Amino acid sequence: GLLDERLLGFDLKKLSRSLFLERDDLFHYIGVQTLYERYFMKSETMRLELPQAFWMRIAMGLALNEKDRDEKAVQFYEVMSSLRYVPSTPTLFHAGTLHPQLSSCYLTTVDDDLNHIFKCLADNAQLSKWSGGLGNDWTNIRATGAWIKSTNVESQGVIPFLKIANDVTAAINRSGKRRGATCAYLETWHLDIEDFIDLRRNTGDERRRTHDMNTANWIPDLFMKRVIENRDWTLFSPDEVPELHHIYGKEFERKYAGYEENARKGLIKKYKSVPALKLWRKMLGRLFETGHPWITFKDPCNIRSPQDHAGVIHSSNLCTEITLNTSAEETAVCNLGSINLERHVIDGRLDEELLAATVKTAIRMLDNVIDINYYPTIEAQNSNFKHRPVGLGIMGLQDALFKLNLNFDSEEAVNASDRLMEVISYYAILTSSELAKEKGAYESYKGSKWDRDIFPIDTIGLLEGERGISINLQRKETLDWSNVREHVKKYGMRNSNIMAIAPTATISNIAGCFPCIEPIYKNIYVKSNISGEFTVVNSYLVNDLKKLGSWNNEMLDQIKYYDGSVQLIVGVPQNTKDKCKEAFEIEPEWFVKHAAARGKWIDQSQSLNIFIKGTSGKKLNDLYIDAWKLGLKTTYYLRSLAASQIEKATLDANKFGYTQKRDYTAVMNNNTIDNTAVENSKLAIGIEQQNSEAKVCLIEDPECEACQ
């Protein structure tokens, strides 16, 4: 009663002989424990799977519709069990089961209609029930004070509905396997935007707070131009400016300016003019304070979209890597999986043949998800069958850089990111076109950018043209793309969208690599998740120190004392210190540089976490403006270094003292921690060390010199 009966149609003896039981040893403890706690099928009293049977069950579940399904199941098993590629969590949960909900992400647009609002909330519950992450676009909802003709009253705006969406999210918990998760998006010209950016604050009216739901700003290019030019920005209610949310680029700029003129003439009832720079600073302040709302850019997502002929992208998804069209009739769906780059760097070099083989198998597996998938709503099914989008991503970038002996904060590493993504993009696009030759192109292919011979690398120029601003990004191709272009021209594409880099927080634990595209968080730390607490150690650092004869208890104690950092430890060589910098020891502009280099080749987006140490408002401002100027589509969490230190019970207090009570001056001088100040409930965003006193300035204070 748990598995699809069609699995009995496989040659089970043949598949059993294809298992490599010794691959159990590829797992780290955190990986196999996570599988045991959350992923293995179970009855009320026992687990029903072991690791290799688990991989084969997923492989069989994804090969159900293949003509040579035994051979394909073995092929799929090979890339997963060797940890070269891991599908997303819903696929791992449900492949081969009676309800194979294998998709990761759902994106919806909520219309300004009470029936549709509550339909979407009900859809959220159904999609969350089957482990889907949600991105909800709320920009259509009229603003606070807008008139409702049917009831002859003023609207309460979008915030009360977001509170309900938050509570729906909190109510869904898949029996401890996965919590419900939602992100709400609002475009920056919406009259409720100032209340929206306060939703995650820990102060204020709790009825207007959403602590269990993520939030994201959906920012048009025109707003960023107004910020840079220090001009005013006008907020509107969507019922009076109905086109704005559904257009972009030059067309948006013309229409927006027209509405501003109408407002000046008194032809628009509800509007508000604010300095764009002041609003921008408030957005960055809340981002630093709460981690929300995330900064995402509307125009790059739409202008660079392969599906610009078939609708509009109104938001991204839960983790900001998916950029697909949505409407009342179409709930966008994306099916995810990630390549483990660590497994493709062998003897200090990238094995491109192996990587190409992995990409080809992964794309086929992802495409199969679409036909096998259980769809909780008809809008999701309609959209997925029509456009067939998938999102092939990567993880283990930091592992690959360690094995290539490259420092994350170096141009060589950025070039490696560029080259890695070009290779993946090349074979992903080619494979989708080969699947189109075998099975037919996706339904809405005609008129798409693919059909017009416009590939992701070409869309940087389109974005420049719409903005009227150059993008400082080199666009050199190192592979011969003419073969791919000719194949697409002849056979089309099987999938409207192919690449998206998701966070991989859990599947990277399973694969035993560092998450996604991120640098190492710390060289040693304790990681807590739904499966428990796990000590994580940088094995690459340990191996380097062993080769030097420097790995001993004294070295371990010093690394613990410095919270994982090796920058102040005398016995660690400088080249090892440079290579093993932790996330907060790397200047944040390097994250943006890596993302821009990869983004040229990607047709969707990336879950880009940014790590920042210190509280410089100018640095934060420059960072996000540079991200926009380089054409990034989206960013994800802003991770700032907390002003706290954990007592280290495994250190000798007589030798090291009570580590959590180290004085402020020592902490500042040792560069292990920065202080975050909050004054008058405002975010302290700038700090200097001067005569042993902290000088604080506020991002919301226009007189603050750090923000000029």
Interhelix angle 617-629/276-290, rounded to 10 degrees, is: 110
Check if the beta carbon of residue 471 is closer than 8 Å to that of residue 631.
Answer: yes
Distance of alpha carbon 178 from alpha carbon 420, whole angstroms: 31
Which residue type, as a one-letter code, is found at position 602?
I
Is 513 an annotated catalytic residue?
no
Q: Taking the mean position of all CA atoms in its chain, how far away is CA 241? A: 31
Catalytic residue among 124, 136, 140, 317: 317
Catalytic residue among 187, 260, 289, 321: 321
Q: How far is CA 545 from CA 281, 573, 578, 586, in A?
A: 44, 9, 14, 21
Burial of 364 (0-12, 13-18, 19+ CB in 10 A): buried
Residues 6+ apart with CB under 8 A from 109: 137, 140, 314, 315, 326, 327, 328
Strand partners, 527: 534
Q: Residue 583: name the closest of 516, 660, 520, 509 by CA.
A: 520
Is 621 an annotated catalytic residue?
no
Interhelix angle 411-439/589-599, rounded to 10 degrees, is: 30
Which residue type, as a one-letter code, is found at position 33?
Q
DSSP letter string, 178-239: -B--EEEEEETTBTTHHHHTTTT-SSS-GGG--TTSEEEEEE-HHHHHHHHHT-EEEEE-TT
Return the sign of the alpha-carbon dihedral for residues 449, 450, 451, 452. positive
Burial of 274 (0-12, 13-18, 19+ CB in 10 A): middle
The first and second tokens of residue 126, run together, are 């159904």
Q: Taking the mean position of all CA atoms in its chain, how far away is CA 653? A: 41
Rg, C-alpha atoms of the chain = 25
Is 319 an annotated catalytic residue?
yes
Q: Residue 57: name the closest of 1, 3, 131 by CA.
A: 3
Q: How far is CA 127 from CA 130, 168, 175, 316, 692, in A?
A: 6, 11, 15, 16, 54
In the block, tokens 């283990």 appear at 396
Sheet hosting strand 682-690, strand order edge to edge: 678-679, 682-690, 693-698
Count the helices and strands in the chain (H runs, E runs).
26, 21
DSSP letter string, 388-428: --EEEEEE-HHHHHHHTT--SSSHHHHHHHHHHHHHHHHHH
Active site residue ranges: 317, 319, 321
